[in-house]
Structure 1
Amino acid sequence: MAASVAPMGNSEHLGREHFGVVIAGGGPVGLLLAGELRLHGIATLVLEQAPQGQGEPRTLSLHARTLESLDRRGLLTDFTAAQDSVPGLADYRRQLNDHGARGHFAGIYQLGRNAAEAEQPHGLTLPREVVKELLGKRAEGLGAVVRHGQEVTGLEQDGDGVTVTVRTEDGSYPVRADFLVGCDGGRSTVRKSAGIAFPGTGPSVVARMGRAVFEVEGGGELPIGWERTDGGWYMRMPDGRVAVTEWEVPDDLESPVTVAELAESIHRVTGLRVTLSDPEYVTRFTDSARQASSYRAGRVLLAGDAAHVHFPAGGQGVNLGMQDAFNLGWKLAAECRGGAPEGLLDSYGAERHPVAARVLHNTRAQVALMRPGPQVDALREMFVDLMGIDGVNTYLSEIIYGTGIRYGSAPDDHPLVGTFARDLPLTTPGGPTRLAELLRSGRPLLLGLNGGGSAVLDAAAPWSDRVERVRAEAERPYATALLVRPDGYTAWAAEGAVDTRSLRAALTAWCGPERAAG
């Protein structure tokens, strides 16, 4: 697919630009999606409203499924090294790990206690700007164009593409794209302009958060950790953030939050009077839970907070959005290149919409379990006991960390179909490797194991231009052959004798029709 990209400083040519995909929003989701598209050579433009280096200084928790996915793109080592370079965050994570818990459900830190065998048993904690830097470096290194201080203000689509209106400090200009993806947050201009509804529930709690120098009247410090009080919830993170949550929602949620408002909320929740100085930022958010009625309207798609918003209980938001990007990237790239199987792009919404709906459901449950009062006190005590049961702990851990996701499959499919393909040490003709490393290219992987793969790989020869075909030996394989999608999920699997007809059907459904070799 051709793309004409003019120099940024030449306004005469800006209106003639044509990209395969324009992404509105340069946060982690938009930048990750840009990198995924560039793996497949799709001309990609990212438009970020905020100037470079500006944005709310938040800290993000990256969970198991996200880390597994980053590993399959060769990015996990960089993310781990970045966390280790921030001593306070690394120490905090180690403290959690020493206690055998990776995180919480409704502030009950019991999750992951039986996850020692998990592929990624421990999460990562990183400043949002560091995550953006890592993903932006990758996207631009692969050839994506990223522009800051440029806001998408409108769109017009037709059967051939989308004309995107972009506002800068010097005026507005149009950009043409085959597809537009809105990664522009909960108040998404793209979603509104595309006429996609955003139903859900309104706020029942309000949280205020900030990072500043806090001084407690009479001496002492605000402790690190979580505390539930009669007035609400208090939280202080090792990076200096303080957050308080209350169940009295003010009428005015649109006016800018102030330092005094945060200090007053801290007093109501903790009983401590504090003064704040040198504020880095203060913000306010609620437990509004909304989800786009559809993730696609013609040539416009949504991902991340533009598609779903919820209370940030368990740190699920960025992980949910990044998993949207991993799911969407290869499908949208196939559509842009041409020859994609019918319905492949629509499978993005079909698969990801139910996943986000479950996240909204569990965050509503967590908010209910966090409420003050003796009835909830009793419920929480019972919940602590329940989370000590391995099955319950595993169930809740899989909900929060995304490791329980299984996409749809047919009744006669192998039980692995729709599940995330577990990493596996392998020996190939080229030497030792891992299943995760074989997905670095972002192409589907057909893996034939332990001498049973010859017929499998031969049957897939007409798809060799789109599929990585690998014969390997494994000490403890969990299948004879696997077809793994670029996002790491299993599209087809077999044990023992292989039915090549079902393999060819799966290759056609996910990779398109066969083509003559050469």
Structure 2
Amino acid sequence: MDSVMGNTETEYDVVVSGAGPVGLLLACELRLGGTGRVLVVERLPEVDETIKAGAVNTPTAVALDRRGMLPALAEVQEQALSRFRTFLREQAGGGAGAQAAPAPPPRFAGHFAGIMLSAGLFDESDPAFADVGPAAKVGLVPQAALERLLAKRAARLGVELRRNAEVTGFEASTDGVTVHIEHAAGSAPAADHRGPDRSGPQTDHRTDGAGAGPQTDHRTDGAGAGPQTDHRTDGAGSATDHRTDGAGSATDHRAGESRSETDHRTDGVGPEAVDPTNRPRPETGHPTDTPRSETVRAGWLVGCDGGRSTVRKLAGFEFDGTPPEITGHQAIVDMTGAEGLKSGWNTTETGTYAHGPVPGRILTVEFDGPPADRETPVTAEELQTSLRHVSGADVTVTKVHSATRFTDNARQAASYRAGRVLLAGDAAHVHSPFGGQGLNLGIGDAMNLGWKLAAAVRGDAPEGLLDSYTAERHPIGAWVLDWTRAQIALMRPDPHARALRKVVTDLVETVTGTTYLVRQISGVQQRYDLPGGHPLVGRSAPDLELADGGRLADRLHGGRGLLLDLADDPKLRARAEGYGDRVDVVTTGCPARPELTGLLVRPDGITAWAADGTSSGDPAHLEPTGQPGPTGPTGSTGSTGPTGPTGSTRSTGAARHPGGEPGDALADALERWFGSPVLR
């Protein structure tokens, strides 16, 4: 309907609540997948500069490489390394102005429960790290810098972003969601992009069994506690920009050489990806001086609004877990007496503290229960008291540039979907920040959900595809929660925990122990339990160097499926007939992996089917169906039912594709993940 007393109703395919890295990446993936109108609603007026995650893991770097963003990430990392070198010079007594030779990016950096890992004990020949590609060299990408890159990419892809606004309520039905949005004073109203008949875009609000969310709030006491990383201190800091993410100017620094024929920008937004639906880029009106309300109609609502998620609470998702027992602080400060602090992670009789790896960065952990007040800004006095108590050093905090509180509250939604409402990122799971898993877990959610939800919006999603989001991602989240709980157990200042810590430290000081921990922290062991007996199925696809001079990652910039014919096999290519609008078929070779003859890769980079040359070369005989591979360290997804995409019990019957036959694994994989072929 038209605007009435400040309320408007507009149609969107998807509304995303929250414009952090998870919400922005999800919006980008939706647009890349052909979703028409995507609206992102964010409470904050600009990118949150509060100190949060300081790095990304391997799956995150690989995922962004597959969207053409690796050059931009490498530039941000170099700026972060520059600050790290400054910190090392200051620790060595050289002062901020002293010169030092450039150092290469570290292969990895990490700790387990504050026990530092030695690079010299890491076995780089471990096969889990093979075929990662150049993304393995990128890791030091702070969260705020990543958020800025994704905001730029989202704008170029045509995502509508409303800042100074938040979702305050919604009503979900089987065919869509009515979303209520409150805009703060100073926010810009949305322009009306509907056609002359005022009907809005032709959105597909199907009734595919997606019901309304549950009516009862099943959360347990304390479930609404916020995450360890979303504790903003609005108004804190000074007018000087003391960012720790190394963000450069607003200039678009483009790569000097293109990585593919269609993508020449360092942020991965190629000319063909600017607007997949050829709609004009949305624009907003001029800011208003008064608050206002807005009601929009959407096909789907996704809560990416953090650990205190309004969407999660209103939808009634179960959110069980374990209560917090620590108060943690992280900050960038000016201080005197820093020479009394040791660099790195340090455990004392009263807790744990960290100093570095950038100038002024401190972190403290005290086992005195959660903070009494989570809302008030973190003060210099609070940080100083905590740091003195844990370190024993006579430090004085003179200025706070950025600060946050966190706890070890560890909870997870029982499901990530309730009808037309979904959750991703901290809205779906919260935990302590130890091990740097939170941001990366959310990025993985967005990559997994984006292409599946886009298919649901387009109307060509196979049965069970959207439910496979929870089936695949929930075990990964559960593993992360346990990984952080284990670290809390080792950090407790009681005699039993300290005795156990000595034993674990001895194990860490071995090649086997360090390599095991690096595998877990880096995320390279993650695997979805998908049907198929080949060891690559369910894992992130190897970044193969192809005979045509490109890499596999280059072929995924468009966000579509990819079938690699590595043996010039016409029978293999015939299986993909009818999928031209969803799957790209590339015939080339891979000299480094001559045993591979074919590879089907989902839009999120996960291997859905693989074959090698151990049999006749007929795709129908290369791999049997219905044999899930071994369970990965992050857990097994199990089956979503007899017709679910991740289930190994799916009955496919006779092949439904020209040239196919019963048991054709490739034809089954294509239909499982991309729906039925469209044959002409």
Q: Which moved more, 1:79-88 or 1:118-127?
A: 118-127
Q: Which moved more, 1:371-380 or 1:344-353?
A: 371-380
Do the aligned partners of residues 393 and 226 (structure 1) sit closer, same or farther apart at CA in structure 2, a change above 3 Å counting? closer
Asked whether 1:470 is paired with 2:590, we answer no
Asked whether 1:355 is paired with 2:472, we answer no
| In structure 2, distance between residues paired with 1:173 and 1:197 | 28
| In structure 2, distance between residues paired with 1:221 and 1:110 | 23
| In structure 1, distance between residues paired with 2:491 and 2:512 | 22
* Pick aligned residue for 2:50 from 56, 60, 74: 56
Name the residue aligned to 2:59.
65
Q: Is the 8 A contact 1:89 1:126 kept in 2?
A: no
* Pick aligned residue for 1:289 from 405, 410, 417: 410
2:329 alignment partner AA: R
Q: Is the 8 A contact 1:22 1:180 kept in 2?
A: yes
| In structure 1, distance between residues paired with 2:564 and 2:295 | 45
Do the aligned partners of residues 282 and 33 (structure 1) sit closer, same or farther apart at CA in structure 2, a change above 3 Å counting? same
Name the residue aligned to 2:33.
40
Q: Is the 8 A contact 2:374 2:405 kept in 1?
A: no
Please give the secondary structure, in 1, of the residue aligned with 2:398.
Answer: strand
Asked whether 1:215 is paired with 2:332, we answer no
Q: Deviations over 1:323-375 (max 9, x none)?
A: 10010000000000002100000100110000000000010001111223454
Do the aligned partners of residues 403 and 251 (structure 1) sit closer, same or farther apart at CA in structure 2, a change above 3 Å counting? closer
1:78-117 correspondence runs (5 A): 78-89=72-83, 91=85, 101-110=108-117, 113-115=122-124
Q: Which moved more, 1:462-471 or 1:301-310?
A: 462-471
Q: Is the 8 A contact 2:53 2:439 kept in 1?
A: no
Q: Is the 8 A contact 1:304 1:321 kept in 2?
A: yes
Q: Is the 8 A contact 2:61 2:136 kept in 1?
A: no
Q: Percent identity over the alignment?
A: 45
Q: Please report how far the alpha carbon of residue 388 of structure 1 lies from its aligned counterpart in structure 2 after TM superposition.
A: 4.3
Q: Which moved more, 1:460-469 or 1:353-362?
A: 460-469
| In structure 2, distance between residues paired with 1:445 and 1:100 | 29
Asked whether 1:21 is paired with 2:40, we answer no
Please give the secondary structure, in 1, of the residue aligned with 2:516.
Answer: helix
1:315-334 correspondence runs (5 A): 315-334=436-455
1:145-224 correspondence runs (5 A): 145-169=160-184, 170-216=291-337, 220=339, 222-224=341-343
Q: Please report how far the alpha carbon of residue 250 of structure 1 lies from its aligned counterpart in structure 2 after TM superposition.
A: 5.4
| In structure 2, distance between residues paired with 1:409 and 1:53 | 37
Aligned residues: 503
Q: Is the 8 A contact 2:424 2:442 kept in 1?
A: yes
Q: Deviations over 1:299-328 (max 9, x none)?
A: 000000000000101111000000100100
Name the residue aligned to 2:520.
399
Q: Which moved more, 1:442-451 or 1:51-60?
A: 51-60
Name the residue aligned to 1:438.
555
| In structure 1, distance between residues paired with 2:23 and 2:479 | 22
2:544 alignment partner AA: L
Please give the secondary structure, in 2, of the residue aligned with 1:196.
Answer: coil
1:244 alignment partner AA: T
Name the residue aligned to 1:479.
596
1:480 alignment partner AA: T
Q: Deviations over 1:441-489 (max 9, x none)?
A: 11010111033x3211112112122110111111122521111011111
Aligned-pair Cα RMSD in Å: 2.5
| In structure 2, distance between residues paired with 1:196 and 1:80 | 38
Please give the secondary structure, in 1, of the residue aligned with 2:55.
Answer: strand
What TM-score does the superposition give when structure 1 sets the normalisation length? 0.91
Q: Deviations over 1:217-257 (max 9, x none)?
A: xx846443211111101112215221110111157243524
> Which structure 2 residue ranges, 5 or more long, are not aligned?
89-100, 185-290, 621-659
> Which structure 1 residue ranges, 5 or more long, are not aligned?
none
Q: Please report how far the alpha carbon of residue 509 of structure 1 lies from its aligned counterpart in structure 2 after TM superposition.
A: 0.6
Q: Is the 8 A contact 1:101 1:111 kept in 2?
A: no
Q: Which structure features the higher share of strand residues?
A: 1
* Pick aligned residue for 2:70 from 76, 96, 111: 76
| In structure 2, distance between residues paired with 1:437 and 1:135 | 19
Asked whether 1:516 is paired with 2:644, we answer no
Q: Which structure features the higher share of helix residues?
A: 1
Q: Is the 8 A contact 2:51 2:403 kept in 1?
A: no
* Pick aligned residue for 1:243 from 341, 360, 363: 363
| In structure 2, distance between residues paired with 1:13 and 1:516 | 49
Q: Is the 8 A contact 1:188 1:306 kept in 2?
A: yes
| In structure 2, distance between residues paired with 1:297 and 1:111 | 44
1:109 alignment partner AA: M
What TM-score does the superposition give when structure 2 sets the normalisation length? 0.70
2:160 alignment partner AA: V
1:434 alignment partner AA: R
Name the residue aligned to 1:31.
24
Do the aligned partners of residues 138 and 284 (structure 1) sit closer, same or farther apart at CA in structure 2, a change above 3 Å counting? same
Q: Please report how far the alpha carbon of residue 211 of structure 1 lies from its aligned counterpart in structure 2 after TM superposition.
A: 2.1
Name the residue aligned to 1:419.
539
Do the aligned partners of residues 106 and 250 (structure 1) sit closer, same or farther apart at CA in structure 2, a change above 3 Å counting? closer
Asked whether 1:454 is paired with 2:454, we answer no
